[in-house]
Copies of this chain bind each other. A is one copy, B any other.
Amino acid sequence: MNYRKVGKWGLKISELSLGSWITFGNQLDIAGAKEIVREAFKSGINFFDTAEAYANGMAEAMLGDILKEFKRSDIVVSTKIFWGGNGPNDRGLSRKHLLEGIWASLKRLQLDYVDIVYCHRPDPEVPIEETVMAMDYIVRNGLALYWGTSEWSAEELEEAHKVCEKLNCIHPVVEQPQYNMLVRERVEKEYLPIYEKYGMGLTTWSPLASGVLTGKYNNGIPENSRLAKFPNLRKHLEEKGMLGEKVFEKLRKLQKIADQLDAKLSQLALAWCLLNPNVSSVILGVTSIEQLHENLKAIEIKEKLSQDVIDEIKEILEDE
């Protein structure tokens, strides 16, 4: 396993990491989750990502219970604050929710601090000063070692860094955007000045586009698949055109490349994310040991990708 720095900063995380979205507390119970976390750690994964929103806090509680068996400095744990409940002050990036949120997360995680706390989304309703100062409070009080953002625009990040500079607050060091073969704009274009000016790293989610990049939806939604279980997700993907014939055609072409590499399409898709040097870690969502190992092989596949193959993939992806 390679460990990459989070942008220009000193924290080092495994290039493949383990998320808990949708899986922990949903498809996985505590026994299943424990088995996967142990195997992930054994395989070199040191970064474990969760959020207060995942399974309404149960993902944090499960992860916390599992992580107790590891040495604290051996692991990098992150959580995200934004959706904490239904009360008027239970969501968003107000000082009240950020502080009450992280206090509650740390209790569920049974930790004194997380390594990274993310603002799970931007909150246009709250002045950026309020959010920046609350995150600064969290880091300066040792509740988190670093802070980051998730799905913020480059403009919002710019603004945050400027406020940090003005108020002498601690800067965010990492963004967590969606990034995969089908969703590339933000990571590959919009954020370019952010990497250079502020040295932010990326921990990316949905590397398989909710499973679309496994090719398993090319011929319809199989029973028991994630999209069958989460109709909202299906609807969302449909709206984004990600379940359309145009996409499936690309996937069939990519499948051929994968075949030539003796790889699964999903492995090719993960390998492709790893090629981006601005990506610090690709967060995996897995529901079994087998799937974990399958995904981990993406690292080997990445090594096999020649410039020619990379160019070919690019052409397929950009073909209108």
User: Complex Cα distance A104/B183, Å?
Assistant: 43
A86 to chain B, nearest CB (A): 10
Q: Which of A119-167 contact B (CB under 8 A)?
A: 123, 125-127, 130-131, 133, 137, 140-142, 145-146, 167
Question: Given that A96-B11, A99-B145, A199-B127 are known contacts, is A3 also in contact with B88, CB under 8 Å in the complex?
Answer: yes
Contacts of A167 in B (CB 8 A): 168
User: Complex Cα distance A13/B96, Å?
Assistant: 12
A245 to chain B, nearest CB (A): 43
Contact B11 A95 (CB under 8 A): yes
Contact A94 B125 (CB under 8 A): no
Contact with B along A78-113 (1 / 0, CB 8 A): 000000110111101111110110001000000000
A231 to chain B, nearest CB (A): 30
Interface residue A12 (Cβ < 8 Å from any Cβ of B):
yes
Contact A84 B95 (CB under 8 A): no
A307 to chain B, nearest CB (A): 28
Contact A96 B123 (CB under 8 A): no
Name the contact of A137 in the complex, choosing from B14, B88, B140 (C-beta under 8 A). Answer: B140
Contacts of A89 in B (CB 8 A): 11-12, 46, 73-74, 76
Contact A168 B170 (CB under 8 A): no
User: Complex Cα distance A272/B46, Å?
Assistant: 49
User: Complex Cα distance A306/B183, Å?
Assistant: 49
Interface residue A236 (Cβ < 8 Å from any Cβ of B):
no
Contact B3 A130 (CB under 8 A): no
User: Complex Cα distance A5/B88, Å?
Assistant: 10
A221 to chain B, nearest CB (A): 38
Contact A10 B123 (CB under 8 A): yes
Contacts of A125 in B (CB 8 A): 5, 10
5 pairs, A vs B, C-beta closer than 8 Å:
A10-B125, A14-B88, A73-B96, A74-B89, A96-B146
19 more CB-based (< 8 A) A-B contacts, given A46-B88, A72-B100: A8-B127, A9-B95, A10-B92, A10-B95, A10-B130, A11-B89, A11-B95, A11-B96, A73-B85, A73-B89, A73-B100, A74-B87, A76-B89, A95-B146, A96-B115, A96-B146, A99-B145, A137-B142, A168-B168
Which residues of A pack against B, CB within 8 Å? 3, 5, 8-14, 46, 71-74, 76, 84-85, 87-90, 92-97, 99-100, 104, 115, 123, 125-127, 130-131, 133, 137, 140-142, 145-146, 167-168, 170, 199
